[in-house]
């Protein structure tokens, strides 16, 4: 059997656990039975990443001496490879559960154009036993989620959809579609699987129907554990979409839980010695071990993201349903179709890489969806009433075929401001939005707008991040961003819910003034409070410090930010579609809502007073 990286074994007999002597009726008795091993195969957060992606390796990692460094390129991940890997591991183990911990949709054009149908169809090739809802399943309301679940229900997989803390409203199409838990029988043993989704984040950052309720995660899980134990189910798995740190805390807080299979934080777990040479940096051991409220061991796992990794966990239970030990690790499926015997042997020996031949039916299905993308990219999603111009700085003199210089002379780009406004519309928890000038790559002409237009406008693989910043930090951010103007202006800030005056002739640190906020553009403009905290939504590039956004990088490093994993181009697609659905054309932002209210260039020329600044 192949060695699994990150092998961790918890031998209960070697530990003194404070609550090991819990009352005998804590679990249903199964005395006299043999220990039982369950294999759990799992993924999470694939976010519509259905295709494989390249993995560039130093051949020395696989013992391929003599080959040039970096010369080895293999495809890894994607659903055709994952399907083959799931099938192989099912054949190689006796009692198996296949689980998906949520966030199947949102992130690529496959989701944008097929609205989850491509994801569900490929998921049905793997045939998951259970799928727990993630927050992004609610991105487009209950009805859109129901349509996704309709496709998932097609065929013979019978994937159970779980969420113990979601209560759809009376008229929701989700009613009757969700279960709090399911009981699976493997090798004559019953295993309970309970689904839990992160509540506050789903309410704020996604778009569930207003009447659909999200209960407390711990209370909901505890109630379902009690219900299952009353039915004699001794082995309990929580299939959660809560983030790694929260899942560890959940394991410690609850009685009766044995395993937590999680998602949402996109956490890679495993052996750093095996993963780092491949370019992957793990955040902890696989499995991570906790002790539950009964004093019994709990195995906590996640499997990274974007269909790149499958987690494989073996859990051994004693006759009363307690965990004896657990072991396992991440498996990265790589395409071995063209591998020679020497390379195949090296891959077989590697503790993390796992060679498989892509599942041909999944590959054909994916090819059909990919071929349809070229047509669907031309789908019209809305209409623009007037040319939306792009410049980096107000008064910029670069050639702009769609727009006269006067269109952007005083306040800068129209389209970049609208991109920021789309961020704010997408992220319900944010007060203001900031987009760097260099992240938007074209003007938009009057007339129909297609999905292809949007992905040309916003071509990068950014996601939306939300940062918790003080008013003083926002002002500092603006100062650093306008200082970039002399070197091309890629960092120049465009915002929604935030406006200010710029004087590039002033000394560094004094170039920004009259900063005002209008959180979510729902009230009046008021002076920014340097002491107050604001939620700022932005793109992942500058959230990580790109274009010199050092304040954003600092906040991210201090844990004051979170990745929504919502693709930034998708937010603009949704914004345009929303305007179209309400019968509105896309128009230039009103002057009072543009972020740059006054612009004085480096020579001291005020663009609001003169038309001939150079």
For residue 174, give the CATH number of its domain.
3.60.21.10
| Identity of the highest mean pLDDT range in 70-74, 362-366, 501-505 | 362-366
Judge whether 23 lies within some domain: no
> What pTM did the predictor assign?
0.75
**Do 385 and 312 belong to one domain?**
no
The predicted structure's pLDDT at residue 21: 30
Please compute Rg for the chain using Cα positions: 26
Q: What are the Cα distances from residue 281, in Å, to 62, 107, 271, 284, 341?
A: 18, 22, 9, 9, 29
Q: Which residue is associated with the tokens 């007060």?
A: 431
Question: Given 350, 373, 396, which residue is the final one in a domain?
Answer: 373
CA 167 to chain centroid: 23
In this prediction, residues 47-75 reach a mean pLDDT of 78
What single DSSP character describes residue 277?
A: G
- Least reliable range by pLDDT among 137-141, 161-165, 245-249: 137-141
Looking at the structure, do residues 433 and 346 belong to the same domain, yes or no? Answer: no
Query: Does residue 18 form part of some domain?
Result: no
Same domain for 385 and 363: no
Which carries the bigger pLDDT value, residue 566 or residue 433? 433
Same-domain pairing of 402 and 331? no
Structure tokens, 436:
């760097």
More confident residue, 84 or 139: 84
CATH number of the domain enclosing 385: 3.90.780.10
97, 186 in Cβ contact below 8 A? yes
Going by their DSSP bridges, the two strands 526-527 and 512-517 should be labelled as antiparallel
Q: Which of 373, 389, 416 is the last residue of a domain?
A: 373
* 343 pLDDT above the threshold of 60: yes
Position 578 in a domain: yes
Same domain membership, residue 287 and residue 436:
no
Which of 37-41, 409-413, 590-594 has the highest average model confidence (pLDDT)?
Answer: 37-41
> Which pLDDT belongs to residue 373?
83
What pLDDT does residue 33 have? 64
Mean pLDDT of 300-328: 96
pLDDT of the residue at 435: 94
Closest CA to 452 of 572, 566, 367, 580: 572
- What CA–CA distance (Å, rounded) separates 409 from 229? 69
Angle, to 10 degrees, between the axis of helix 141-152 and the axis of helix 117-126?
A: 40
Number of domains in the chain: 2
Mean pLDDT, residues 152-165 = 95
Distance between CA atoms of residues 304 and 6, nearest Å = 14
Helix (H) / strand (E) containing 288: strand 288-291
Containing 538, the helix (H) or strand (E) segment is strand 533-539
Helix or strand or coil: residue 102? coil
More confident position, 8 or 444: 444
User: Do 350 and 390 lie in a common domain?
Assistant: no
Q: Final residue of a domain: which of 315, 342, 373?
A: 373
Angle between helices 550-557 and 471-482 (to 10 degrees): 140
Of all residues in the chain, what percent carry a pLDDT higher than 90? 57
**44: in domain:** yes
Specify whether the CB–CB gap between 614 and 605 falls below 8 A: yes
Does residue 608 lie within any of the structural domains? Answer: no
* pLDDT for 20 beyond 50: no
**pLDDT reported for residue 1:** 36
Indicate whether 17 belongs to any domain: no
- More confident position, 47 or 18: 47
Q: Are residues 263 and 318 in the same domain?
A: yes
Instruction: Say yes or no: 244 and 341 in one domain.
Output: yes
pLDDT value, residue 64: 62
pLDDT surpasses 60 at 68: no
Give per-residue pLDDT as tens, 445-454: 889 999 888 8
507 and 466 in a common domain: yes
Domain assignment present for 1: no
Instruction: Give the pLDDT score at 406.
Output: 78
**pLDDT tens for residues 458-479?**
877 788 999 999 999 999 999 9
pLDDT at position 538 is 95
Task: Tell me: pLDDT of 397 over 70.
Answer: no
9: confidence class by pLDDT, cuts 50, 70, 90: very low
pLDDT at 489: 66
Does residue 320 fall inside a structural domain?
yes
Beta bridge partners of 290: 298
pLDDT classification of 488: cutoffs 50, 70, 90: low
Same domain, 320 and 413: no
Residues 567 and 462 reside in one and the same domain: yes
Q: Is the per-residue pLDDT at 389 higher than 80?
A: yes
Given a contact cutoff of 8 angstroms between Cβ atoms, the answer to whether 530 and 475 are in contact is: yes
Same domain, 351 and 278: yes
Domain of 332?
37-65+76-373
Torsion of CA 9, 10, 13, 15, to 10 degrees: 130
Report how far apart, in Å, the C-alpha atoms of 505 and of each of 162, 411, 600 are.
59, 17, 7
């Amino acid at each position: 059997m192949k060695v699994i990286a990150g092998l961790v074994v918890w031998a209960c007999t070697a530990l003194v656990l404070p609550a090991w002597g819990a009352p005998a009726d804590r679990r249903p008795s199964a005395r006299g039975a043999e220990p039982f091993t369950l294999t759990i195969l799992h993924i999470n957060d694939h976010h519509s990443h259905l295709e494989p992606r390249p993995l560039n390796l130093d051949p020395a990692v696989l013992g391929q001496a003599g080959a040039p460094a970096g010369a080895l390129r293999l495809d890894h991940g994607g659903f055709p490879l994952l399907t083959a890997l799931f099938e192989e591991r099912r054949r190689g183990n006796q009692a198996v559960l296949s689980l998906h911990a949520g966030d199947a949709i949102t992130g690529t054009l496959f989701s944008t154009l097929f609205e989850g149908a491509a994801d569900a169809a490929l998921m049905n090739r793997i045939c998951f036993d259970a799928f727990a809802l993630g927050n992004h399943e609610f991105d487009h309301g209950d009805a859109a989620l129901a349509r996704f679940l309709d496709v998932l229900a097609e065929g013979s997989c019978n994937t159970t959809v779980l969420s113990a803390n979601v209560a759809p409203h009376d008229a929701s199409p989700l009613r009757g579609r969700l279960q709090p838990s399911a009981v699976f029988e493997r090798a004559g043993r019953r295993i309970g699987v309970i689904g839990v989704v992160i509540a506050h984040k789903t309410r704020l950052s996604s778009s569930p129907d207003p009447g659909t309720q999200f209960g407390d995660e711990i209370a909901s899980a505890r109630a379902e554990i009690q219900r299952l134990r009353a039915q004699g189910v001794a082995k309990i798995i929580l299939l959660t979409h809560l983030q790694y740190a929260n899942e560890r805390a959940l394991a410690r807080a609850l009685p009766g839980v044995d395993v937590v299979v999680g998602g949402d934080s996109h956490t890679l777990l495993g052996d750093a010695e095996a993963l780092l040479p491949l370019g992957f940096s793990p955040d902890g051991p696989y499995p991570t071990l906790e002790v539950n409220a009964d004093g019994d061991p709990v195995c906590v796992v996640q499997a990274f993201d974007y269909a790149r990794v499958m987690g494989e966990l073996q859990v051994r239970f004693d006759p009363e349903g307690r965990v004896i030990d657990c072991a396992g690790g991440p498996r990265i499926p790589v395409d071995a179709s063209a591998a020679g015997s020497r390379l195949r042997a090296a891959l077989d020996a590697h503790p993390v890489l796992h060679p498989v031949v892509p599942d041909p039916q999944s590959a054909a299905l994916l090819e059909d969806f990919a071929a349809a993308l070229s047509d669907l990219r031309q789908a019209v999603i809305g209409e623009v009433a007037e040319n939306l111009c792009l410049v980096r700085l107000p008064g910029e003199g670069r050639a702009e075929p769609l727009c006269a210089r006067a269109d952007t002379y005083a306040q800068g780009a129209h389209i970049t401001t609208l991109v920021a406004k789309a961020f704010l519309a997408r992220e319900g928890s944010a007060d203001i939005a900031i987009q760097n000038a260099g992240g938007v790559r074209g003007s938009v002409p009057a007339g129909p707008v297609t999905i292809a237009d949007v992905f040309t406008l916003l071509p990068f693989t950014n996601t939306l991040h939300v940062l918790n910043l003080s008013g003083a930090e926002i002002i500092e951010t603006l100062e650093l961003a306008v200082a970039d103007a002399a070197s091309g202006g890629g960092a120049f800030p465009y915002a929604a819910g935030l406006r200010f005056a710029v004087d590039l002739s002033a000394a560094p640190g004094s170039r920004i003034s009259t900063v005002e906020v209008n959180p979510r553009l729902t009230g009046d403009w008021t002076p920014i409070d340097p002491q107050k905290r604001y939620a700022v939504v932005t793109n992942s590039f500058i959230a990580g410090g790109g274009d010199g956004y050092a304040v954003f990088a600092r906040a991210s490093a201090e844990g004051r930010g979170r990745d929504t994993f919502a693709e930034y181009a998708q937010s603009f697609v949704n914004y345009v579609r929303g305007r179209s659905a309400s019968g509105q054309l896309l128009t230039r932002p009103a002057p009072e809502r543009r972020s740059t209210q006054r612009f004085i260039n480096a020579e001291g020329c005020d663009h609001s007073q003169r038309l001939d600044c150079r």
